[in-house]
Structure 1
Amino acid sequence: MRTTLFPRWAGGLLLALTAVFMLAPLVVVTLVSFSGSSVFNLPDGNWSLRWYRAMLRKDGLGDVLMLSLFVAAVSTLCALVLGTLCAIAIEHGRFRGREALLAFLVSPMLMPGLVVGVALLQALRYIGLQDVTTALLIGHVVITLPYVTRTVHASLALFDMRLIEAAQTLGLSRPRALLQVLVPALAPAFLTSGLFAFLASMDNYPISIFLTDARSRTLPIEILHYLEESPDPTIAAISACLILLAIVVLFIAERLVGMRRLAQF
Protein backbone atom coordinates (compact mmCIF):
# COMPACT_ATOMS: atom_id res chain seq x y z
CA MET A 1 0.00 0.00 0.00
CA ARG A 2 2.80 2.40 0.86
CA THR A 3 4.58 1.79 -2.41
CA THR A 4 1.35 2.71 -4.20
CA LEU A 5 0.46 5.84 -2.23
CA PHE A 6 3.93 7.35 -1.95
CA PRO A 7 4.40 8.00 -5.69
CA ARG A 8 1.01 9.75 -5.81
CA TRP A 9 1.91 11.88 -2.81
CA ALA A 10 5.33 12.68 -4.24
CA GLY A 11 3.83 13.48 -7.63
CA GLY A 12 1.28 15.81 -6.07
CA LEU A 13 3.99 17.57 -4.08
CA LEU A 14 6.18 17.94 -7.16
CA LEU A 15 3.23 19.36 -9.11
CA ALA A 16 2.47 21.86 -6.34
CA LEU A 17 6.11 22.98 -6.11
CA THR A 18 6.31 23.37 -9.87
CA ALA A 19 3.13 25.48 -9.91
CA VAL A 20 4.46 27.70 -7.10
CA PHE A 21 7.81 28.08 -8.86
CA MET A 22 6.13 29.13 -12.14
CA LEU A 23 3.44 31.37 -10.65
CA ALA A 24 5.51 33.12 -7.97
CA PRO A 25 7.07 35.70 -10.36
CA LEU A 26 3.63 36.58 -11.73
CA VAL A 27 2.27 37.08 -8.22
CA VAL A 28 5.25 39.25 -7.25
CA VAL A 29 4.86 41.45 -10.35
CA THR A 30 1.15 41.89 -9.68
CA LEU A 31 1.78 42.82 -6.03
CA VAL A 32 4.48 45.34 -7.00
CA SER A 33 2.02 47.05 -9.35
CA PHE A 34 -0.15 47.92 -6.34
CA SER A 35 2.72 49.37 -4.31
CA GLY A 36 2.86 53.08 -3.56
CA SER A 37 6.66 53.04 -3.60
CA SER A 38 8.62 54.62 -6.47
CA VAL A 39 10.86 51.58 -6.69
CA PHE A 40 10.11 47.91 -7.24
CA ASN A 41 9.01 46.98 -3.73
CA LEU A 42 6.21 44.82 -2.42
CA PRO A 43 3.36 46.72 -0.75
CA ASP A 44 4.05 47.27 2.95
CA GLY A 45 0.43 48.04 3.80
CA ASN A 46 0.26 51.06 1.51
CA TRP A 47 -1.78 49.75 -1.43
CA SER A 48 -2.20 52.15 -4.32
CA LEU A 49 -3.42 52.42 -7.91
CA ARG A 50 -0.81 55.09 -8.57
CA TRP A 51 1.05 53.14 -11.21
CA TYR A 52 -2.09 52.15 -13.08
CA ARG A 53 -3.02 55.82 -13.35
CA ALA A 54 0.55 56.56 -14.48
CA MET A 55 0.22 53.82 -17.08
CA LEU A 56 -2.86 55.52 -18.55
CA ARG A 57 -0.92 58.78 -18.82
CA LYS A 58 2.06 57.25 -20.65
CA ASP A 59 2.66 59.05 -23.94
CA GLY A 60 2.32 56.80 -26.97
CA LEU A 61 1.23 53.74 -25.01
CA GLY A 62 -2.21 53.77 -26.68
CA ASP A 63 -0.67 53.69 -30.17
CA VAL A 64 1.70 50.91 -29.14
CA LEU A 65 -1.17 48.88 -27.70
CA MET A 66 -3.30 49.34 -30.83
CA LEU A 67 -0.42 48.22 -33.05
CA SER A 68 0.14 45.13 -30.90
CA LEU A 69 -3.56 44.25 -30.91
CA PHE A 70 -3.81 44.77 -34.68
CA VAL A 71 -0.75 42.63 -35.42
CA ALA A 72 -1.88 39.91 -33.01
CA ALA A 73 -5.44 39.79 -34.38
CA VAL A 74 -4.49 39.82 -38.08
CA SER A 75 -1.59 37.37 -37.70
CA THR A 76 -3.81 35.01 -35.71
CA LEU A 77 -6.52 35.16 -38.39
CA CYS A 78 -3.99 34.49 -41.13
CA ALA A 79 -2.46 31.65 -39.11
CA LEU A 80 -5.89 30.08 -38.60
CA VAL A 81 -6.56 30.03 -42.33
CA LEU A 82 -3.10 28.92 -43.44
CA GLY A 83 -2.62 26.50 -40.55
CA THR A 84 -5.94 24.78 -41.19
CA LEU A 85 -5.17 24.36 -44.89
CA CYS A 86 -1.71 23.00 -44.07
CA ALA A 87 -3.13 20.59 -41.48
CA ILE A 88 -5.71 19.27 -43.95
CA ALA A 89 -3.07 18.83 -46.65
CA ILE A 90 -0.70 17.01 -44.28
CA GLU A 91 -3.36 14.75 -42.75
CA HIS A 92 -5.28 13.83 -45.90
CA GLY A 93 -2.81 14.57 -48.68
CA ARG A 94 -1.17 11.83 -50.69
CA PHE A 95 2.41 12.99 -51.17
CA ARG A 96 5.82 12.15 -49.78
CA GLY A 97 7.41 14.14 -46.99
CA ARG A 98 4.25 14.99 -45.09
CA GLU A 99 5.89 14.35 -41.72
CA ALA A 100 8.90 16.42 -42.73
CA LEU A 101 6.59 19.25 -43.81
CA LEU A 102 4.78 19.13 -40.47
CA ALA A 103 8.12 19.26 -38.62
CA PHE A 104 9.16 22.24 -40.74
CA LEU A 105 5.94 24.13 -39.99
CA VAL A 106 6.27 23.49 -36.26
CA SER A 107 10.01 24.26 -36.16
CA PRO A 108 9.63 27.97 -35.18
CA MET A 109 8.34 26.74 -31.79
CA LEU A 110 11.54 24.74 -31.27
CA MET A 111 14.11 27.23 -32.51
CA PRO A 112 15.45 30.16 -30.44
CA GLY A 113 13.44 33.31 -31.12
CA LEU A 114 16.57 35.34 -31.80
CA VAL A 115 17.60 32.93 -34.56
CA VAL A 116 14.17 33.20 -36.20
CA GLY A 117 14.23 36.98 -35.80
CA VAL A 118 17.63 37.38 -37.47
CA ALA A 119 16.59 35.05 -40.30
CA LEU A 120 13.38 37.01 -40.89
CA LEU A 121 15.23 40.31 -40.82
CA GLN A 122 17.70 39.14 -43.45
CA ALA A 123 14.98 37.62 -45.63
CA LEU A 124 12.76 40.71 -45.54
CA ARG A 125 15.73 43.00 -46.14
CA TYR A 126 16.72 40.84 -49.14
CA ILE A 127 13.32 41.30 -50.79
CA GLY A 128 13.35 45.01 -49.99
CA LEU A 129 10.41 45.13 -47.58
CA GLN A 130 10.62 48.28 -45.45
CA ASP A 131 7.09 48.65 -44.06
CA VAL A 132 7.24 47.83 -40.34
CA THR A 133 3.60 46.74 -39.98
CA THR A 134 3.83 44.32 -42.90
CA ALA A 135 7.12 42.93 -41.59
CA LEU A 136 5.59 42.42 -38.15
CA LEU A 137 2.59 40.65 -39.66
CA ILE A 138 4.82 38.27 -41.62
CA GLY A 139 7.00 37.59 -38.60
CA HIS A 140 4.07 36.99 -36.27
CA VAL A 141 2.37 34.67 -38.76
CA VAL A 142 5.57 32.62 -38.73
CA ILE A 143 5.50 32.28 -34.94
CA THR A 144 1.71 31.72 -34.62
CA LEU A 145 1.34 29.27 -37.50
CA PRO A 146 2.84 26.31 -35.54
CA TYR A 147 0.19 26.64 -32.81
CA VAL A 148 -2.64 26.36 -35.33
CA THR A 149 -1.07 23.71 -37.55
CA ARG A 150 -0.16 21.40 -34.68
CA THR A 151 -3.48 21.76 -32.86
CA VAL A 152 -5.72 21.42 -35.92
CA HIS A 153 -3.65 18.51 -37.23
CA ALA A 154 -4.06 16.68 -33.91
CA SER A 155 -7.82 17.28 -34.04
CA LEU A 156 -8.06 16.20 -37.69
CA ALA A 157 -6.30 12.93 -36.85
CA LEU A 158 -9.25 12.07 -34.60
CA PHE A 159 -11.92 13.08 -37.11
CA ASP A 160 -13.58 10.44 -39.28
CA MET A 161 -13.77 11.82 -42.81
CA ARG A 162 -16.44 9.26 -43.63
CA LEU A 163 -18.85 11.60 -41.88
CA ILE A 164 -18.34 14.05 -44.74
CA GLU A 165 -19.21 11.35 -47.25
CA ALA A 166 -22.27 10.40 -45.20
CA ALA A 167 -23.43 14.02 -45.21
CA GLN A 168 -23.00 14.15 -48.99
CA THR A 169 -25.10 11.02 -49.45
CA LEU A 170 -27.84 12.80 -47.50
CA GLY A 171 -27.93 15.59 -50.06
CA LEU A 172 -25.35 18.13 -48.90
CA SER A 173 -22.79 19.49 -51.30
CA ARG A 174 -19.16 19.00 -50.29
CA PRO A 175 -18.63 22.64 -49.25
CA ARG A 176 -21.78 22.56 -47.10
CA ALA A 177 -20.81 19.19 -45.67
CA LEU A 178 -17.42 20.57 -44.67
CA LEU A 179 -19.05 23.66 -43.20
CA GLN A 180 -21.74 21.84 -41.23
CA VAL A 181 -19.82 18.72 -40.18
CA LEU A 182 -16.08 19.39 -40.19
CA VAL A 183 -16.02 22.96 -38.91
CA PRO A 184 -18.09 22.29 -35.74
CA ALA A 185 -15.92 19.27 -34.96
CA LEU A 186 -12.77 21.38 -35.28
CA ALA A 187 -14.20 24.44 -33.49
CA PRO A 188 -12.45 23.63 -30.16
CA ALA A 189 -9.13 23.30 -31.99
CA PHE A 190 -9.72 26.61 -33.80
CA LEU A 191 -10.57 28.36 -30.55
CA THR A 192 -7.70 26.89 -28.55
CA SER A 193 -5.02 27.47 -31.16
CA GLY A 194 -6.35 30.94 -31.96
CA LEU A 195 -6.28 32.05 -28.34
CA PHE A 196 -2.78 30.75 -27.72
CA ALA A 197 -1.56 32.20 -31.03
CA PHE A 198 -2.99 35.60 -30.05
CA LEU A 199 -1.20 35.50 -26.70
CA ALA A 200 2.04 34.37 -28.32
CA SER A 201 1.87 37.33 -30.69
CA MET A 202 1.02 39.85 -27.97
CA ASP A 203 3.91 38.70 -25.76
CA ASN A 204 6.54 38.16 -28.43
CA TYR A 205 9.80 39.99 -27.94
CA PRO A 206 12.78 38.20 -29.58
CA ILE A 207 11.35 38.41 -33.11
CA SER A 208 9.58 41.76 -32.87
CA ILE A 209 12.74 43.55 -31.76
CA PHE A 210 14.33 42.87 -35.17
CA LEU A 211 11.29 44.06 -37.15
CA THR A 212 10.35 47.31 -35.39
CA ASP A 213 11.80 50.81 -35.55
CA ALA A 214 11.77 53.88 -33.32
CA ARG A 215 8.33 54.99 -34.52
CA SER A 216 6.50 51.66 -34.59
CA ARG A 217 7.00 49.39 -31.60
CA THR A 218 4.99 46.56 -30.11
CA LEU A 219 4.07 46.45 -26.44
CA PRO A 220 6.92 44.15 -25.27
CA ILE A 221 9.45 46.38 -27.04
CA GLU A 222 7.90 49.47 -25.45
CA ILE A 223 8.12 47.84 -22.00
CA LEU A 224 11.84 47.29 -22.60
CA HIS A 225 12.14 50.95 -23.62
CA TYR A 226 10.46 52.03 -20.38
CA LEU A 227 12.78 49.75 -18.42
CA GLU A 228 15.81 51.46 -19.97
CA GLU A 229 14.55 55.05 -19.84
CA SER A 230 12.36 55.29 -16.73
CA PRO A 231 12.33 52.11 -14.63
CA ASP A 232 9.41 52.43 -12.23
CA PRO A 233 6.48 50.18 -11.19
CA THR A 234 4.48 51.40 -14.19
CA ILE A 235 6.15 48.49 -15.96
CA ALA A 236 4.71 46.16 -13.31
CA ALA A 237 1.24 47.64 -13.91
CA ILE A 238 1.52 47.00 -17.66
CA SER A 239 2.76 43.48 -16.99
CA ALA A 240 -0.12 42.85 -14.59
CA CYS A 241 -2.55 43.83 -17.35
CA LEU A 242 -0.91 41.32 -19.68
CA ILE A 243 -1.22 38.66 -16.98
CA LEU A 244 -4.91 39.54 -16.64
CA LEU A 245 -5.30 39.20 -20.42
CA ALA A 246 -3.83 35.69 -20.29
CA ILE A 247 -6.16 34.76 -17.42
CA VAL A 248 -9.19 36.07 -19.33
CA VAL A 249 -8.16 34.10 -22.44
CA LEU A 250 -7.79 30.90 -20.42
CA PHE A 251 -11.13 31.51 -18.71
CA ILE A 252 -12.86 31.96 -22.07
CA ALA A 253 -11.23 28.81 -23.42
CA GLU A 254 -12.25 26.87 -20.30
CA ARG A 255 -15.85 28.03 -20.54
CA LEU A 256 -16.19 27.36 -24.26
CA VAL A 257 -14.07 24.23 -24.62
CA GLY A 258 -13.43 22.85 -21.14
CA MET A 259 -10.11 22.49 -19.39
CA ARG A 260 -9.97 18.73 -19.89
CA ARG A 261 -10.36 19.01 -23.66
CA LEU A 262 -8.09 22.06 -23.69
CA ALA A 263 -5.32 19.97 -22.13
CA GLN A 264 -5.66 17.35 -24.87
CA PHE A 265 -4.29 19.81 -27.43
Structure 2
Amino acid sequence: MSARIAITLAWLCAIGAVVFLLSPLLVIAAASFSPTPVFDLPVGGASLRWYARIGALDGFWPALSLSLQLALLSTALSLVLGTLAAIALARGKLPGAQAIATALVSPLMMPGLVLGIALLQYFRAIGFNATWSALLVAHVVVTLPYVARTMIAGMVRFDFTLMEAARTLGCTYAQAIRRVMIPALAPSFLIAGLFSFLASFDNYPVSIFLTDVRTKTLPIKMLQYIDEAPDPTLAALSTLILIATIVLLLASDRLVGLHRMAGTGD
Protein backbone atom coordinates (compact mmCIF):
# COMPACT_ATOMS: atom_id res chain seq x y z
CA MET A 1 0.00 0.00 0.00
CA SER A 2 2.80 2.40 0.88
CA ALA A 3 4.50 1.75 -2.48
CA ARG A 4 1.26 2.49 -4.31
CA ILE A 5 0.84 5.75 -2.39
CA ALA A 6 4.40 6.74 -3.20
CA ILE A 7 3.88 6.03 -6.90
CA THR A 8 0.64 8.04 -6.88
CA LEU A 9 2.35 11.00 -5.19
CA ALA A 10 5.20 10.81 -7.70
CA TRP A 11 2.75 10.90 -10.60
CA LEU A 12 0.87 13.82 -9.05
CA CYS A 13 4.12 15.75 -8.60
CA ALA A 14 5.14 15.01 -12.19
CA ILE A 15 1.76 16.10 -13.57
CA GLY A 16 1.83 19.23 -11.41
CA ALA A 17 5.31 20.12 -12.67
CA VAL A 18 4.25 19.63 -16.30
CA VAL A 19 1.14 21.79 -15.83
CA PHE A 20 3.20 24.48 -14.10
CA LEU A 21 5.78 24.54 -16.92
CA LEU A 22 3.25 24.48 -19.77
CA SER A 23 0.76 26.99 -18.34
CA PRO A 24 2.63 30.11 -19.57
CA LEU A 25 2.85 28.63 -23.07
CA LEU A 26 -0.86 27.85 -23.08
CA VAL A 27 -1.68 31.39 -21.94
CA ILE A 28 0.44 32.86 -24.75
CA ALA A 29 -1.23 30.58 -27.28
CA ALA A 30 -4.68 31.60 -26.03
CA ALA A 31 -3.74 35.30 -26.09
CA SER A 32 -2.80 35.00 -29.77
CA PHE A 33 -6.56 34.69 -30.51
CA SER A 34 -7.41 37.84 -28.56
CA PRO A 35 -10.28 39.84 -30.13
CA THR A 36 -8.81 43.10 -28.76
CA PRO A 37 -5.45 44.83 -29.44
CA VAL A 38 -4.16 43.83 -26.00
CA PHE A 39 -2.94 40.55 -24.55
CA ASP A 40 -6.29 39.16 -23.50
CA LEU A 41 -7.86 35.73 -23.36
CA PRO A 42 -10.46 35.09 -26.11
CA VAL A 43 -13.38 34.82 -23.69
CA GLY A 44 -15.85 36.77 -25.81
CA GLY A 45 -14.68 35.40 -29.16
CA ALA A 46 -11.50 34.45 -31.00
CA SER A 47 -9.76 36.31 -33.81
CA LEU A 48 -7.10 35.20 -36.31
CA ARG A 49 -6.17 38.71 -37.46
CA TRP A 50 -2.96 38.73 -35.42
CA TYR A 51 -1.65 35.75 -37.36
CA ALA A 52 -2.35 37.61 -40.60
CA ARG A 53 -0.29 40.57 -39.37
CA ILE A 54 2.89 38.59 -38.68
CA GLY A 55 4.24 38.93 -42.22
CA ALA A 56 3.65 42.70 -42.12
CA LEU A 57 5.82 43.27 -39.06
CA ASP A 58 8.66 45.67 -39.76
CA GLY A 59 11.86 43.73 -40.48
CA PHE A 60 10.27 40.34 -39.81
CA TRP A 61 11.40 38.56 -42.98
CA PRO A 62 15.07 39.69 -42.85
CA ALA A 63 15.22 38.70 -39.17
CA LEU A 64 13.66 35.30 -39.88
CA SER A 65 16.02 34.74 -42.81
CA LEU A 66 19.05 35.64 -40.69
CA SER A 67 17.98 33.33 -37.86
CA LEU A 68 17.44 30.44 -40.26
CA GLN A 69 20.78 31.02 -41.99
CA LEU A 70 22.66 31.12 -38.69
CA ALA A 71 20.83 28.10 -37.31
CA LEU A 72 21.42 25.96 -40.42
CA LEU A 73 25.06 26.94 -40.92
CA SER A 74 26.03 26.74 -37.25
CA THR A 75 24.32 23.36 -36.97
CA ALA A 76 26.16 22.04 -40.05
CA LEU A 77 29.53 23.30 -38.80
CA SER A 78 28.89 21.97 -35.31
CA LEU A 79 27.97 18.54 -36.67
CA VAL A 80 31.25 18.36 -38.57
CA LEU A 81 33.44 19.69 -35.75
CA GLY A 82 31.60 17.84 -32.99
CA THR A 83 31.71 14.53 -34.85
CA LEU A 84 35.44 14.82 -35.56
CA ALA A 85 36.09 15.72 -31.93
CA ALA A 86 33.94 12.80 -30.75
CA ILE A 87 35.85 10.35 -32.99
CA ALA A 88 39.16 11.60 -31.64
CA LEU A 89 38.01 11.33 -28.04
CA ALA A 90 36.36 7.93 -28.44
CA ARG A 91 39.01 6.34 -30.69
CA GLY A 92 42.28 8.00 -29.84
CA LYS A 93 44.24 7.81 -26.62
CA LEU A 94 44.54 11.54 -26.13
CA PRO A 95 46.13 12.80 -22.92
CA GLY A 96 43.54 14.75 -20.96
CA ALA A 97 40.65 13.44 -23.05
CA GLN A 98 38.20 13.95 -20.21
CA ALA A 99 39.32 17.56 -19.79
CA ILE A 100 38.89 18.14 -23.53
CA ALA A 101 35.40 16.64 -23.45
CA THR A 102 34.50 18.90 -20.52
CA ALA A 103 35.87 21.94 -22.36
CA LEU A 104 33.72 21.14 -25.39
CA VAL A 105 30.53 21.31 -23.35
CA SER A 106 31.68 24.12 -21.05
CA PRO A 107 29.59 26.83 -22.80
CA LEU A 108 26.50 25.04 -21.46
CA MET A 109 27.76 25.64 -17.93
CA MET A 110 28.02 29.41 -18.38
CA PRO A 111 25.17 31.94 -18.31
CA GLY A 112 24.37 33.17 -21.81
CA LEU A 113 24.97 36.80 -20.88
CA VAL A 114 28.45 36.00 -19.57
CA LEU A 115 29.27 34.08 -22.75
CA GLY A 116 27.95 36.92 -24.91
CA ILE A 117 30.02 39.56 -23.11
CA ALA A 118 33.12 37.36 -23.29
CA LEU A 119 32.72 36.82 -27.03
CA LEU A 120 32.10 40.53 -27.61
CA GLN A 121 35.28 41.50 -25.75
CA TYR A 122 37.28 38.81 -27.53
CA PHE A 123 36.11 39.84 -30.99
CA ARG A 124 36.91 43.47 -30.23
CA ALA A 125 40.36 42.55 -28.95
CA ILE A 126 41.27 40.75 -32.18
CA GLY A 127 39.58 43.34 -34.42
CA PHE A 128 36.85 40.99 -35.65
CA ASN A 129 34.06 43.43 -36.51
CA ALA A 130 32.05 41.60 -39.20
CA THR A 131 28.62 41.30 -37.60
CA TRP A 132 27.28 38.35 -39.61
CA SER A 133 30.49 36.34 -39.27
CA ALA A 134 30.74 37.14 -35.56
CA LEU A 135 27.18 35.91 -35.06
CA LEU A 136 27.97 32.69 -36.93
CA VAL A 137 31.06 32.00 -34.83
CA ALA A 138 29.12 32.76 -31.65
CA HIS A 139 26.29 30.43 -32.65
CA VAL A 140 28.81 27.66 -33.37
CA VAL A 141 30.13 28.16 -29.84
CA VAL A 142 26.55 27.85 -28.55
CA THR A 143 25.57 24.80 -30.63
CA LEU A 144 28.83 22.81 -30.57
CA PRO A 145 28.33 21.56 -26.98
CA TYR A 146 24.99 19.97 -27.91
CA VAL A 147 26.57 18.13 -30.82
CA ALA A 148 29.72 17.16 -28.94
CA ARG A 149 27.83 15.76 -25.95
CA THR A 150 25.47 13.75 -28.14
CA MET A 151 28.11 12.46 -30.54
CA ILE A 152 30.55 11.49 -27.79
CA ALA A 153 27.80 9.39 -26.22
CA GLY A 154 27.04 7.85 -29.62
CA MET A 155 30.70 7.14 -30.41
CA VAL A 156 31.22 5.39 -27.08
CA ARG A 157 28.52 2.86 -28.04
CA PHE A 158 29.67 2.51 -31.66
CA ASP A 159 31.61 -0.64 -32.58
CA PHE A 160 34.64 0.59 -34.52
CA THR A 161 35.44 -2.95 -35.61
CA LEU A 162 32.66 -2.51 -38.15
CA MET A 163 34.80 0.15 -39.81
CA GLU A 164 37.75 -2.20 -39.93
CA ALA A 165 35.57 -4.95 -41.41
CA ALA A 166 34.31 -2.56 -44.10
CA ARG A 167 37.87 -1.60 -45.00
CA THR A 168 38.85 -5.26 -45.11
CA LEU A 169 36.06 -5.79 -47.66
CA GLY A 170 37.49 -3.08 -49.92
CA CYS A 171 36.00 0.19 -48.68
CA THR A 172 38.19 3.22 -48.32
CA TYR A 173 38.10 5.04 -44.99
CA ALA A 174 35.75 7.68 -46.43
CA GLN A 175 33.47 4.98 -47.85
CA ALA A 176 33.44 3.16 -44.52
CA ILE A 177 32.35 6.35 -42.79
CA ARG A 178 29.62 6.95 -45.37
CA ARG A 179 28.31 3.39 -45.54
CA VAL A 180 28.81 2.18 -41.96
CA MET A 181 29.33 4.94 -39.41
CA ILE A 182 26.82 7.51 -40.65
CA PRO A 183 23.88 5.06 -40.94
CA ALA A 184 24.68 3.54 -37.54
CA LEU A 185 24.90 6.95 -35.87
CA ALA A 186 22.01 8.54 -37.78
CA PRO A 187 19.87 8.89 -34.61
CA SER A 188 22.71 10.71 -32.83
CA PHE A 189 23.19 13.02 -35.82
CA LEU A 190 19.47 13.77 -35.92
CA ILE A 191 19.20 14.47 -32.19
CA ALA A 192 22.35 16.60 -32.16
CA GLY A 193 21.24 18.55 -35.22
CA LEU A 194 17.74 19.14 -33.85
CA PHE A 195 18.82 20.50 -30.50
CA SER A 196 21.65 22.59 -31.94
CA PHE A 197 19.27 24.10 -34.51
CA LEU A 198 16.75 25.03 -31.83
CA ALA A 199 19.48 26.39 -29.56
CA SER A 200 20.74 28.64 -32.36
CA PHE A 201 17.36 29.75 -33.66
CA ASP A 202 16.07 30.72 -30.21
CA ASN A 203 19.31 32.22 -28.93
CA TYR A 204 19.01 35.68 -27.46
CA PRO A 205 21.53 36.32 -24.64
CA VAL A 206 24.61 35.79 -26.84
CA SER A 207 23.26 37.34 -30.05
CA ILE A 208 22.17 40.59 -28.36
CA PHE A 209 25.81 41.63 -27.87
CA LEU A 210 26.87 40.98 -31.46
CA THR A 211 24.07 42.45 -33.58
CA ASP A 212 23.85 45.92 -35.06
CA VAL A 213 21.06 48.12 -36.42
CA ARG A 214 20.85 46.29 -39.77
CA THR A 215 21.57 42.75 -38.58
CA LYS A 216 19.12 41.40 -36.01
CA THR A 217 17.97 37.86 -35.36
CA LEU A 218 14.31 37.04 -34.86
CA PRO A 219 14.41 36.76 -31.02
CA ILE A 220 16.03 40.20 -30.80
CA LYS A 221 13.53 41.62 -33.25
CA MET A 222 10.70 40.20 -31.16
CA LEU A 223 12.03 42.01 -28.10
CA GLN A 224 12.10 45.20 -30.16
CA TYR A 225 8.44 44.66 -31.10
CA ILE A 226 7.56 44.43 -27.41
CA ASP A 227 9.20 47.82 -26.76
CA GLU A 228 7.69 49.52 -29.80
CA ALA A 229 4.15 48.17 -30.21
CA PRO A 230 3.15 45.29 -27.93
CA ASP A 231 0.06 43.56 -29.29
CA PRO A 232 -1.15 39.94 -29.72
CA THR A 233 0.84 39.65 -32.97
CA LEU A 234 3.81 38.70 -30.82
CA ALA A 235 1.73 36.03 -29.12
CA ALA A 236 0.75 34.70 -32.54
CA LEU A 237 4.37 34.61 -33.70
CA SER A 238 5.44 32.88 -30.48
CA THR A 239 2.68 30.32 -30.95
CA LEU A 240 3.84 29.54 -34.48
CA ILE A 241 7.41 29.04 -33.25
CA LEU A 242 6.10 26.76 -30.51
CA ILE A 243 4.08 24.74 -33.04
CA ALA A 244 7.12 24.42 -35.34
CA THR A 245 9.20 23.18 -32.40
CA ILE A 246 6.56 20.59 -31.49
CA VAL A 247 6.39 19.43 -35.13
CA LEU A 248 10.18 18.96 -35.19
CA LEU A 249 10.07 16.98 -31.95
CA LEU A 250 7.22 14.79 -33.19
CA ALA A 251 9.03 14.15 -36.48
CA SER A 252 12.16 13.20 -34.55
CA ASP A 253 10.10 10.91 -32.35
CA ARG A 254 8.78 9.13 -35.44
CA LEU A 255 12.28 8.77 -36.88
CA VAL A 256 14.24 8.03 -33.72
CA GLY A 257 11.96 7.58 -30.72
CA LEU A 258 11.69 9.65 -27.56
CA HIS A 259 13.53 7.01 -25.53
CA ARG A 260 16.60 7.39 -27.76
CA MET A 261 16.32 11.18 -27.75
CA ALA A 262 16.36 11.09 -23.96
CA GLY A 263 19.30 8.70 -23.99
CA THR A 264 17.40 5.92 -22.21
CA GLY A 265 17.68 3.32 -24.93
CA ASP A 266 19.64 2.19 -27.94
TM above 0.5, one fold?
yes
The separation in 2 between residues aligned to 1:182 and 1:7, in whole angstroms, is: 44
The separation in 1 between residues aligned to 2:188 and 2:94, in whole angstroms, is: 25
- Provide the residue aligned with 1:199 in structure 2: 198
1:121-140 aligned within 5 A: 121-140=120-139
Q: What SS is found at the alignment partner of 2:98?
A: helix
- Provide the residue aligned with 1:169 in structure 2: 168
Gaps of 5+ in 2: none
Gaps of 5+ in 1: none
Report Cα offsets for 1:107-137 as digits up to 9, x if no partner. Answer: 1111100000000001111111221110110
Task: Choose 10-19 or 171-180, whichever is displaced more.
Answer: 171-180
- Provide the residue aligned with 2:181 in structure 1: 182
TM-score normalised according to structure 2 size = 0.96
The one-letter code matched in structure 2 to 1:148 is V
Report deviation, 1:4. Answer: 2.0
Once superposed, which parts of structure 1, at least 4 consecutive aligned residues long, lie more than 4 Å away?
Answer: none
- Provide the residue aligned with 1:143 in structure 2: 142
The separation in 2 between residues aligned to 1:57 and 1:88, in whole angstroms, is: 47
Q: What SS is found at the alignment partner of 2:58?
A: coil
The separation in 2 between residues aligned to 1:181 and 1:230, in whole angstroms, is: 53
Report deviation, 1:171. Answer: 2.6
- Provide the residue aligned with 1:101 in structure 2: 100
Task: Choose 211-220 or 49-58, whichever is displaced more.
Answer: 49-58
Q: What SS is found at the alignment partner of 1:264?
A: coil
Task: Choose 52-61 or 65-74, whichever is displaced more.
Answer: 52-61
Report Cα offsets for 1:45-68 as digits up to 9, x if no partner. Answer: 310011111212112111110011
Report deviation, 1:217. Answer: 0.4
Report Cα offsets for 1:17-67 as digits up to 9, x if no partner. Answer: 111111111111111001111111111131001111121211211111001
Report deviation, 1:169. Answer: 2.2
- Provide the residue aligned with 2:66 in structure 1: 67
Report deviation, 1:176. Answer: 1.4
Q: What SS is found at the alignment partner of 1:89?
A: helix
Aligned residues: 264
The separation in 2 between residues aligned to 1:184 and 1:45, in whole angstroms, is: 53
Q: What SS is found at the alignment partner of 2:115?
A: helix
The one-letter code matched in structure 1 to 2:200 is S
Report deviation, 1:79. Answer: 0.5
Report Cα offsets for 1:66-105 as digits up to 9, x if no partner. Answer: 0111111111101100110111111112121111111111
